[in-house]
Chain A
Amino acid sequence: MTKDTKITNPAGNKHDEDVGRRVAVKAGLLAAVGIGSGALFHGLTSVARADKAPRSTSGPKTQGQADPDIGELARADVDGYAGRTGEKRVGVPTTCMQCIAACGVIGYREKGRIVKIEGNPHCPNNRGMICAKGQAGVNQVYDPDRLLYPLVRTGKRGEGKWKRLSMKDALDLLAFGGEIAGRKVDGLKTIYESDKPQEFMFHYGRSRIKNAMNHFQKTAFGSGTQGNHTSICETAKWLGNELTMGKHYDVNDAAYSKYILIFGANVLEAHTSHSYIAQRVIEAKAARAKIVTFDVRLSNTAAKSDEWVPVLPGTDLAIILAMTNVLLNETVNGKVLYDEAFITKWSNVTIEELKAHYARYTPEWGESESGVPADTIKRLAIEYGSNKPSSIITYRGFVGHYNGAQAEWASKTLDALAGNFNVKGGITTKLGGKCKDGYNDKAAKDHADLTRKAVKFKISDGDDLHMPTHHSCQWIHEMIAEGSHGRPKIYMTYVYNGAYTTGDCQRNREILCNEEYIPFIVAVDVAMSETAACADLILPDATYLERWAMESAASYAQKKFVQIRQPVVKPLGESMDMQDIFIQLARRIGGGINTLHPYDTAEKYVRTCVELQTADNAKSGKMFYDSNDQPLKSDPWEYFKRYGVLLQGNKPSYNTHAKAVSAEGKTVDAKTGVVWDPHKAHVSDTDVASKGYTGSKNAYKGYVGQQIDGKTYAGFKPDKFNKSGRFEIRSGFMPSAAEKVMADIKDFLTPEEAPWVAEHLKSGLPSWVPVPEHRKRTDKQLVMISFKVNVQIHSRSQNCKWLQEVYHTNPAWLNPATARKMLGKGVKEGDLIRIKSEMPELPWRKGKGSTSVSEITARVHLTEAIHPDAIAVSYHCGHWAYGRYASGNPVEVEGGNTGAEPAGENIWWQEGNKAAKDPTQWSEVAGVHPNWIIPNTPARVSGQFRSNDTIVSIAKA
């Protein structure tokens, strides 16, 4: 020991000069005598000593290093490349999950660590390109706040007191129940063995493991009490798809379009198929297609368009209806603009019927509702109708309203009228690859006697909604609190953060933290979330770069393909793939659910899917193709792992509805011309005779084709309800919504318009429905909308440091003229303002339509790039329980903040810029979340979360 060394610990307790030696010797003796060194920690082991660096890849295996038998994508520009560590960089093809687009990516691993992500050139959708969000996926794995171990609550629910459990103990607790913070809870096994399996609820966010999830919960466990997250995104859009074109998910074949209309869709920044539709829109632009964007804001998409048309929020439907009127009545060079042949053959209306119905919706009427000049509406409608193929792209800005489903229905009608459906450069129905499923097509069939018919609490579809075909997730908490439809005993969330992503956040928290409502909440997630903060037990999920799955996205190459998700590195800590958690729970519960999970790991399950499809190909004559569109000659599983994709078609497929199908041995419904298989739909002969196709429950499941002029075609295949195989512009499912909708809106209509609006709603044709509350908005009020930016996803990317560095606060966009009018002439950029919800409550909501918190504060961004009657606050920001990057609450240590770069590099966590203690108030480092003041009240027809409808007032703070 060096005699002149003096140690002063930071607490100020001076140690004498030999204190360290004393501790060492005494502690060593204490341990040796009292504990025994064998019981002490040994995390390392001796291996062959490496004398010089760099090391070879065959060196000691370290945590995070993937198994050597995982497929590796050799690329000319990568092979032999020695990265920063001097080791060869290994590329593993997999699938991005930063957003829902599911781009093919390659994760590069160097010395056991992911060092880079780039696009997979073999993926037909993104063709080697990815966005900033995809590149930042590295941050998901190495987030310092990542959940690495199971945690169990030790304090009150939501209080923030936890302790770690081993994964074994955590799974035991979930399976067998036990005591949590002094309160006994039942486990899954008890519920499974009871006569109420529906008391197990599973609520998922962006899961991408739908088959495994449904197999565990529904087929094997017997519970159908399930929630999703679709209504905060596009439930209304999918209903509009289903009413007309059948199965949901419309694909804009944008690269070949000559004219593109964009309504409320931020295609170049944040679309549902983001990177690959964005690149195709740009290709169209390069080919001199015209792009016109209708949006409340001048988004980056609008800025790249040929024209930006500012829209009053919630009035896009009026513009669509007026454009349809123009298309029906105008001619160019003596030619009509509509495609009469398509309408006559494939739809269920005539041009004359449409002309009569749309007569009221003149451009001048459209102007009166939307503020868009009639001349503009007319000009753009003519351009759209005379520059074919053309296409309309819509999304949340368009459908996140009371009238979203009607708007989507009307837009699909306009596309059909223009003759754009299923044509190259138009709009197509979804083509998605599919492999046989190891659970549905094997385990469930091998052990059919052990499967269960799922029963559920009816809490996912709201109350008194018309057609929530994709449910109404934002109202689930309220349904649980209300209780009359049943309450889950175990509420298990999987990467779902409803406490933050739905409206009225305070109410969400109150309900989730009430143990009387829900006895046992389990959250499975990669990182802490606002929902997980209210849980009893947290299980750490493997990130999307650490796990297996069979992936399939809607094909923008117009040919089917499947895509692999495989681990680039092993799961860190004790995190575990949710699919493996299902298997481990099944083992514990035992009995039939165990037998129904025959695979030991998710990897074996995914491999089985490919093997089953390979076997089916051999029997059916189908085949896999390689990424060069050639028949695959090598082993499909090995190819899949190595290149990441398996093509199931080798040329673009259009006009899929006109494909001939066989009606042999099937039933023809006289009323609709639908050819169907009642047996497949489990419809009895009696019902076939008495109720026919349209009246028999779930008859659509037996749909085969549509007879037209004596021939049977694939048609527009229905989903969710018994629509025919025609393109149904007139919907038999919508007149019955008229009564509910009129009850909501009648007090907001003028005496002159109420009769015709009611009549139109009953017509079954696309009709005008105003956002009711907006009709009583005063000139001192604005409509608050939300939006997404190009470097963030809705709520799950804010733990990514690289993305947060770029976008971490969300000042409220406000037109300067509006600001001067409402806040005074002295208002300036960056002023702090109060945004107060003044949303009237619809009678239907019976006191549950407003928010628990009525006001937030935000800095203002003065810009003419927004409609003067709107204020826009983006998503992404204002987290209060999602780690240091999202919340702006760095953990401070001596010498600087932790979680950012070393001292001096903290670009947004400078001293003094602390996160607000009250998350409803503006934070200089994390912004504010608008959802505190957005009501959860669903859109009456679809159940859509009305993210863009809230009426607010503003004032200086």
Chain B
Amino acid sequence: MAAENNSSSAQATDSALPTALRLLASVFAREADQPLLDQFIARRDELTDVLGRDPLGALTADNALEALAVEYCHLFIGPKGHLPPVESIVLGEGQLWGPSTEAVVEFYERCGIASRSDERTFPDHISMELDCLAMLEETDRHAEAGNFAHLHLLRWLPGLLAHVQANASLAFYPAWLEGLQATLADEYPQTDK
């Protein structure tokens, strides 16, 4: 892997987790944009190595952008048969901005974190919760990050993954979600184990 063969400094390795979390947040925040997709295509082998399978599958540079946009909409936005990747919905609260969302916001506040003023994504959106983990890891608050992961993201990620695996027409989102789940499980193991 090119990155590993690089003179990969200890500093780079230390920042790998928060950066990885941000990459994962970027994958789920919205549809892949052209720069992100260009990198994925250019580094396809490395990506396959990272995730254990090729997330781009049969996608090509010509069709990937459109296909992933349609896939993202189908899985996460709707308007039919989708599952918004937000905690309150996946946990079955039946509404956006439910009790889970409030709990997430309260956690952010206790940690000195808030949504950016121009950000219109829900606080309990998967990308926001990953961003929270990244921010905590960047400031060496691994224990708080673990607490947050277990209180929130790890509780509902299996449900989201099951939906995506059952409804995806492309490998992209299942592959990334599987990678995400494995990452979180490794980084934030249950403390009673």
Contacts and interface: CB of A to CB of B under 8 A. Distances in A.
Most chain B CB within a 10 A radius of its CB, from A30, A44, A161: A44
A894 B92 contact: no
Contacts of B49: 26
A37 B22 CA distance: 8
Contacts of B180: 23
A37 to B, nearest CB: 5
Given A5-B193, A32-B12, A34-B43, A24 B186 contact: yes
Contacts of A45: 113-116
Interface residues of A, number: 95
A468 B122 CA distance: 47
A317 interface: no
A901 interface: yes
A11 B79 contact: no
Contacts of B6: 29, 33
Contacts of B132: 44
Contacts of A161: 70, 74
Interface stretch (A53-61, A554-562, A710-718): A53-61
A896 interface: yes
Contacts of A7: 181-182, 185-186
A154 interface: yes
A25 B15 CA distance: 9
A148 B79 contact: no
Given A59-B109, A898-B89, A143 B186 contact: no
Contacts of B74: 161-162
A10 B39 contact: no
A151 B135 CA distance: 32
Given A30-B43, A43-B25, A49-B110, A111 B105 contact: yes
A25 B162 CA distance: 25
A40 interface: yes
Interface in A1-26: 1-2, 4-5, 7, 9-11, 13, 15, 18-26
Residue of B12, B73, B131 with most chain A CB atoms under a 10 A cut-off: B73
A32 B123 CA distance: 25
Interface string A38-50: 0111111111111
B3 A113 contact: no
Contact of A43 (B47, B69, B116): B116
B20 interface: yes
A40 B20 CA distance: 10
B96 A891 contact: no
B158 A23 contact: no
Interface of B is mostly: helix
A18 B109 CA distance: 33
A547 to B, nearest CB: 16
A901 B95 CA distance: 10
A25 B16 contact: yes
A754 B89 CA distance: 63
A141 B96 CA distance: 8
A60 B104 CA distance: 13
B29 A43 contact: yes
Contact of A11 (B23, B127, B178): B178
A532 B79 contact: yes
A13 B128 contact: no
A145 interface: yes
B113 A32 contact: no
B81 A891 contact: yes
A801 B105 contact: no
A63 B46 contact: no
A47 B114 contact: yes
Contact of B20 (A28, A62, A146): A28
A905 B147 CA distance: 28
Contacts of B189: 1-2, 5
B163 A893 contact: yes
Contacts of B130: 41
A801 B77 contact: no
B10 interface: no
Contacts of B120: 63, 572-574
B70 A900 contact: no
B178 A801 contact: no
B119 A63 contact: yes
A163 B31 contact: yes
B96 A143 contact: yes
Contacts of A39: 26, 35-36
Most chain B beta-carbon contacts within 10 A, residue among A41, A60, A881:
A41
A142 B50 contact: no
A162 B4 contact: no
Interface string B25-43: 1100111000110010011
Contacts of B178: 9, 11, 13, 15
Given A11-B178, A881-B80, A898-B90, A33 B96 contact: no
B79 A24 contact: no
Given A19-B186, A40-B25, A528-B80, A29 B12 contact: yes
A154 B184 contact: no
Contacts of A1: 186-187, 189
Interface in B139-193: 158-163, 165-166, 174, 178-187, 189, 193
A20 B79 contact: no
A142 B97 CA distance: 7
A800 B24 CA distance: 33
Given A63-B123, A144-B84, A898-B83, A15 B135 contact: no
B79 A162 contact: yes
A164 B69 contact: yes
A344 to B, nearest CB: 61
A903 interface: yes
A883 B80 CA distance: 6
Contacts of A40: 19, 22-23, 25-26
A542 interface: no
A24 B20 contact: yes
A37 B19 contact: yes
B50 A147 contact: no
B179 A46 contact: no
A866 B103 CA distance: 50
Which of B3, B31, B83, B90: most chain A Cβ within 10 A? B3
Contacts of B125: 43
A528 B69 CA distance: 19
Contacts of A432: none
Contacts of A538: 79
B20 A25 contact: yes
A60 B114 contact: yes
18 contacts: A2-B189, A15-B182, A23-B51, A23-B183, A24-B17, A25-B20, A26-B46, A30-B43, A30-B46, A37-B22, A39-B26, A40-B23, A50-B110, A141-B97, A147-B79, A151-B78, A162-B73, A891-B163
Given A10-B158, A30-B3, A63-B120, 10 more contacts: A23-B50, A29-B16, A31-B22, A41-B29, A46-B112, A144-B96, A154-B70, A883-B80, A898-B83, A898-B89
A-B CB proximity, top 10 nearest: A20-B186, A28-B16, A49-B112, A60-B114, A29-B3, A28-B20, A894-B162, A528-B79, A31-B23, A40-B22
Interface of B: 1-4, 6, 8, 12-13, 15-26, 29-31, 35-36, 39, 42-43, 46-47, 49-53, 66, 69-70, 72-74, 77-84, 89-98, 101-102, 105-106, 108-117, 119-123, 125, 127-128, 130-132, 135, 158-163, 165-166, 174, 178-187, 189, 193
